[in-house]
């Protein structure tokens, strides 16, 4: 063994001893939405359907029930308010819109199995983008990507809120 390899091994052993001494461990108990059975109640509309599709695809759920209340659910989600609104934010020559803004709102109630209280979460987000009436198809694609980003951020925030809730219990 070379001196460099011995030094590296010694540094690794000391760091391992230090981390294990302060009760550091890798996040093997990561929970959040991962491997949960989830029941989602919502009003039938396109935005809620798209959101539940994104939730199912991105969250790593074990099983998802849509508009069904199942007793074996680890988490019950009720979407109270969910909307995306588009505004004109800057006008150019001839009073034509040059910039637009999309605002996102998601308000939901979470009920974790074994908890008697519901947790009400409200997520707000907004994004600005260039608007050119001559490029309608490109604008539709930009708006579609913004919707996907809104959903992805909301799922991350739900995950974070659940992790905080689980940490408060332990």
Q: What is the C-alpha to C-alpha distance for residues 147 and 65, in angstroms, rounded to an integer?
A: 23
Quote the distance between the C-alpha of residue 51 and its chain's center. Answer: 10
Does the domain spanning 34-169 belong to CATH 3.40.190.10? no
pLDDT band at 139 (very low <50, low <70, confident <90, very high): confident
**C-alpha distance from residue 78 to each of 27, 52, 64, 116, 125 (Å):** 29, 11, 13, 15, 20
Tokens of 56: 């199912």
pLDDT band at 29 (very low <50, low <70, confident <90, very high): very low
pLDDT digits (tens, 9 = 90+) for 68-122: 877 788 889 999 999 999 887 666 666 666 778 899 999 999 888 877 788 899 9
Max CA separation in the chain (angstroms): 77
The residue extents of the domains of the chain are: 34-169
29 or 74, higher pLDDT:
74
What's the predicted TM-score (pTM) here?
0.71
């Amino acid at each position: 063994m070379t001196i460099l390899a011995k030094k590296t091994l010694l540094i690794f052993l000391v760091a391992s001893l230090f981390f294990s001494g302060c009760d550091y461990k890798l996040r093997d108990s990561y929970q959040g939405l991962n491997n949960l059975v989830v029941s989602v109640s919502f009003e039938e509309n396109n935005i809620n359907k798209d959101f539940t599709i994104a939730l199912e695809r991105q969250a790593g759920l074990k099983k998802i029930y849509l508009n069904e209340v199942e007793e074996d659910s680890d988490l019950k989600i009720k979407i109270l308010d969910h909307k995306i609104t588009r505004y004109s934010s800057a006008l150019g020559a001839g009073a034509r819109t040059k910039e637009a803004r999309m605002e996102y709102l998601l308000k939901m109630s979470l009920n974790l199995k074994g908890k008697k209280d519901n947790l009400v979460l409200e997520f707000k987000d907004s994004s600005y983008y260039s608007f050119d009436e001559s490029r309608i198809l490109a604008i539709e694609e930009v708006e579609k990507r913004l919707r996907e980003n809104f959903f992805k951020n909301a799922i991350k925030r739900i995950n974070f809120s659940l992790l905080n809730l689980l940490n408060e219990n332990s």
